[in-house]
Amino acid sequence: MQDFSQKERIPTIGINNFTEGQPQGSSDVLFHELLGERHIDTPHMHDFFMIILFDHASGVHHIDAIDYPVGNKEIHILFPQQMHTWHIHDGSIGYQLMVQRAFFERFAPYFRFSFANYQNHPVIQLSDSAYDLLHYEFNAIKNELKVTDTLAELISARAAVIAAVVSKEAERIFEEYKIYQSNPRLADFNMIIDKFYKTERFVSYYANALHVSPNYLNILCKKHLKLSATQLIQRRVILEAKRLLQNSNLSIKYVALELGFSDHAHFSNFFKTQTGVTPTIFRKKE
């Protein structure tokens, strides 16, 4: 792939930028209290996993080109490479866990759905019982991080509980999660899309990986998701395109090549067909 100058790179912040005030030796997992008004105005990404539990709060969290109102008893999930900004209003209270990639892998399987599902629905309204349980686990991790002989296995186990509870709440709220839970082949399709959408756009590739015919895969998608298999692939491409276009330091040419398009014009035509506007107009609106 073509090499680009540093200004053509997406600003990515590492977890080491947030260690100030943390217990000595705590680097795999960080805990922060979010109290009062907070602003992040420059779109950026993290190279680590982040999950925020809001107690009572208001504001706007901008994730991957979508504005999500911040409310009481919510969980917000950010995987590595998701872009975000936020404006949290005064009087808000929240709790934030930042987790290194390698440590995240320990409990990642307890997120029972494709990461793309959580990326499409990064904000989850919690029931009172789920909030109470998550608040307990967040607080327990905070206390464990304070002791001198922090037990990583215990933190990992508590993080697994958090992931399981979040997955259960997501399945309760979003119909899409219920469909994937009851249709493992669709869930697998979604996971494979997330890995190969930049290079593989034909349904036949995914059907072959799933050991089914393209026609059967298309029927399955239309029956349960009301979208064709091709539309699901295109939806993932557009999600990433919007994320990249948020960063004004990235040229549209860079975005096109990063997503596997042969040239700027091909990408622009595809983007306009899917969204109704050109990449340039979309960027101006952002």
Half-sphere exposure of 118 (CA within 13 A, CB side): 23
d(CA 69, CA 86): 10
Percent of the chain with pLDDT over 90: 64
Return the minimum-mean-pLDDT range out of 39-43, 67-71, 102-106, 192-196: 39-43
Answer yes or no: CATH 3.90.1150.10 is held by domain 6-178.
no
The pLDDT-based confidence of 6 (bands split at 50, 70, 90) is very low
Architecture of the CATH domain 184-285 = Orthogonal Bundle (1.10)
**Residue type present at position 108:** A
CB 192 within 8 A of CB 210: yes
* Domain ranges across the chain: 6-178, 184-285
d(CA 168, CA 111): 9
- Whole-structure pTM value: 0.77
* Residue 3 pLDDT > 60: no
Spell out the SS3 assignment of 119-157: HHCCEEECCHHHHHHHHHHHHHHHHHHHCCCCCHHHHHH
Q: In this predicted structure, what is the pLDDT of residue 7?
A: 41
d(CA 241, CA 47): 19
Q: In this predicted structure, what is the pLDDT of residue 197?
A: 95
DSSP state of 80: T
* Residue 70 pLDDT > 80: yes
Q: What is the pLDDT of residues 137-179, one digit of tens each?
A: 999 999 999 988 889 999 999 999 999 999 999 988 887 777 8
d(CA 154, CA 160): 10
